[in-house]
Chains A and B, each alone.
Chain A
Amino acid sequence: MLEIDNISVVFGGLTAVRELSFNVYPRKIVGLIGPNGAGKSTAFNAILGVFPPTSGEVRLEGRRIDRLSTHEISRLGIGRTFQNIRLFKGMSVLDNVRVALNRQFRYSFIEGLLRLPRCVKMEREIESRAMEILSYFGLAEVAQKQAGALPYGLQKYLEIARAYALHPKYLLLDEPAAGLNDSETEALTGKIRQLMNETGCGVLLIEHDMGLVMEICEYITVIEYGAKISEGSPEHVRHDPKVIEAYLGKQEEQA
């Protein structure tokens, strides 16, 4: 279980996340929703230590991880994607996934430098594992292309593939469906469900649009201005007057 316990993140004078608590469970998809600027991405960054929480605790399987550095946290089994895709654009699609396999296939610097047999063997395994992952996400044909040259939809898949390559216990997806059309969103939803069932990992999904989340999440936390305003089943959240107000109020502002 990934427990987010009462965390706050303060940027200067701005409290972007305020005393937020929720849990992520293995083999479950939970959602974190809220209007734009509510602090959802900041909560992700707090979990991964990109912006460590100013107060509160994050626990992974009972162990505190909120004082660890980002790379240590992700090594413990948390994979993530970013709201504005962050691929290694100048590298090939295959290399993007290969980089993510750096913890599972390890050899020393010297072995790599001299290209010793162990390195050669490992590299062969890395390549076949990476190709396996790419095939799983339907990216095998574009493996040699430059990642930045892929169409937007495929870039989103590649980012998920790269996070999946970490073999994470928990997968954190930041607005995976943003910018996708309905049929693409549906395909993506299916894929997320499938990989959760097959690997048993827990998924935490951020969306600012309610549609996708309502459909696939078992449990939803709603935040506004960094603080939790509602939580529960999609059914419960959908009818919560506070949530309706947060979303409708915002829509009126936009109109």
Chain B
Amino acid sequence: MIDGYWELLILLSLVNVIFAVSLNLVLGFNGQFSLGHAGFLAIGAYASGVATASYDLPLWAGMLLALLVSGVASVIIGYPCLRLRGDYLAIATLGFAEIIRIVLTTLPRDIFGGPTGMDNINNIKDYLSFPESFNGPGNLIFTVIFAMLLLGLLGFSAWTLSRLLAALLSRLLPWKHWRWLVLGLLAALLVWRFEKASNFFLGKFMFSQAFSPKAIASNQWAAFAACGLIVLLCLWLTRNYLASMHGRMAIAIREDEVAANNLGIDIAWMKLQNFIFASMLAGLAGALTAHTLPLIRPLGFGFFKSVEVLLMVVLGGMGSLTGSVFGAITITVLPELLRFLEQWRMVIYSLSLVLLMLFRPGGLMGTQEIGNLIRLRLFKAQERPGA
């Protein structure tokens, strides 16, 4: 069983993966700027939220509506902007997101909740009913899975951080063992604070309560499974798209619009198609947000949210799907993990992002996928295969 706050955090990470992938399709793979991507998230969230809470429609209908409405909105925004050269889309989406946010605060309160938002939306767990006997093992399995994923993420972060710090330090003072010193210090820190760290960890991932009555009564595993499956489905679809002729054309447009145009590619239409697909993914992410968060409100989909997702994409690597997965999880979870730093939290958080951008300007993954990188490492090939 996982602590309620962390349950939320994990579900949000999953939702953010879809959201980041969506923006990456536009920004990283197609080279178009969308600065108001949270607008589509808002549309999806409110479409599904209103449909299910105010009109008692079933969950699937809410999600379908979210896809539909965000798709239509993307055509309205994208059609005029994407036929022009230049970054009109950035400005239009920025304006669009603000308009959506303001309109949502003024729509009828009894249906849309007004500025204070909607708190009467059913949680995804309410829709998933399984025999109670599934709950114990189900929760245990997901506790183990996510605990391991978190440890993996921490290891990966420490590894990356050590590399970045070492790069920084050796600029100041060349010495080839900086990396090991940093790793050693991190290990020492862990040993020094081991009790606190393990208490924190076991407090969030409550293995000891795996079969307690509280765990048996909770079907959080079903929410994890449902969101996890939807994320995997989205990643699968996106991967297929990128490997298809349509995705290839989208990437070609990013690389060189004029050349793509001279190869018979209708660039305005391909950009629009890519934008519609991406926006529908964002709408779906929005619908999932509505059914995971206890409350959705217009302010939650403001400019800050658009910047946050931009950060996820840039951090993970524009043009890398696996990068977006890393980026989304890191940006969602890292600020929570740094809570032990107390007032230094935001300083360290910002500092690590700055460091990362300084030394890996292409993001964690660049335009590579994790599979390619591992293959390269293993076989020590000289050539980098094209993305």
Contacts and interface: CB of A to CB of B under 8 A. Distances in A.
A and B bind: yes
Interface of A: 48, 50, 69-71, 74-75, 80, 82, 86-95, 98-103, 105-107, 109, 111-115, 119, 122-123, 126, 144-147, 149, 162, 166
Given A90-B251, A146-B384, 15 more contacts: A71-B266, A80-B262, A88-B251, A89-B256, A90-B319, A90-B386, A90-B387, A99-B249, A102-B264, A109-B244, A109-B246, A112-B245, A112-B247, A145-B385, A147-B386
A164 to B, nearest CB: 11
Given A71-B265, A92-B386, A99-B252, A112 B244 contact: yes
Contact of A115 (B240, B261, B387): B240
Nearest to A99: B252
Contacts of B251: 88, 90-91, 95
A119 B244 contact: yes
Interface in B214-244: 237, 240-241, 243-244
A112 B256 contact: no
Contacts of A119: 244
B264 A103 contact: yes
Which 8 pairs show the lowest CB-CB distances between chains A and B?
A92-B386, A112-B244, A88-B255, A86-B259, A75-B264, A74-B264, A99-B252, A146-B386
A102 B245 contact: yes
A126 to B, nearest CB: 7
B69 interface: no
Nearest to A162: B263
B interface residue count range (under 10 / 10 to 19 / 20 to 34 / 35 or more)? 20 to 34
Nearest to B238: A113
Interface string B260-279: 11111111000001000100
Contacts of B254: 90
A31 to B, nearest CB: 21
27 contacts: A71-B261, A71-B262, A86-B259, A88-B259, A89-B255, A90-B367, A91-B386, A92-B387, A95-B248, A98-B245, A99-B245, A99-B248, A99-B249, A100-B264, A102-B245, A102-B248, A109-B273, A112-B243, A112-B247, A113-B244, A115-B244, A126-B245, A145-B385, A146-B384, A147-B386, A149-B383, A166-B264
Nearest to B273: A109
Contacts of A126: 245
A71 B267 contact: yes
Interface in B342-371: 367
A51 to B, nearest CB: 11
Interface string B4-17: 00000000000000
Contacts, number: 125
B385 A74 contact: no
Query: Which interface residue of A86, A94, A99 has the most chain B CB atoms within 10 A?
Result: A99
Nearest to A75: B264
Contact of B259 (A87, A95, A123, A144): A87
A89 B267 CA distance: 18
A123 B244 CA distance: 8
B263 A112 contact: no
Contacts of A162: 263
Contacts of B334: none
A125 B259 CA distance: 23
Contact of B263 (A74, A95, A107): A74
Contacts of B202: none
Contact of B385 (A87, A92, A98): A92
A102 B249 contact: yes
A124 to B, nearest CB: 12
A70 B261 contact: yes
B264 A87 contact: no
B258 interface: yes
A80 B263 CA distance: 8
Contacts of A113: 237, 240-241, 244, 277
A99 B260 contact: yes
A82 B261 CA distance: 13
Contacts of A122: 245
A70 B265 CA distance: 9
Contacts of B245: 98-99, 101-102, 105-107, 112, 122-123, 126
Nearest to A172: B262
Query: Which interface residue of A71, A103, A114 has the most chain B CB atoms within 10 A?
Result: A71
Given A71-B264, A146-B384, A112 B246 contact: yes
A223 to B, nearest CB: 22
B269 to A, nearest CB: 9
Contacts of A101: 245
A166 B240 contact: no
A99 B367 CA distance: 18
A35 to B, nearest CB: 24
Contact of B383 (A86, A144, A166): A144
Given A105-B245, A112-B247, A88 B256 contact: yes
Contacts of A111: 244
A115 B58 CA distance: 29
B258 A112 contact: no
Contacts of B255: 87-91
A50 B261 contact: yes
Contacts of A146: 383-386
B385 A91 contact: no
Nearest to A82: B259
Contacts of A86: 256, 258-259
A229 B254 CA distance: 40
Contact of A144 (B243, B248, B252, B385): B385
Contacts of A82: 258-259
A100 B263 contact: yes
Given A86-B259, A90-B255, A98 B383 contact: no
Nearest to B241: A113
A10 to B, nearest CB: 20
Contacts of B383: 144-146, 149
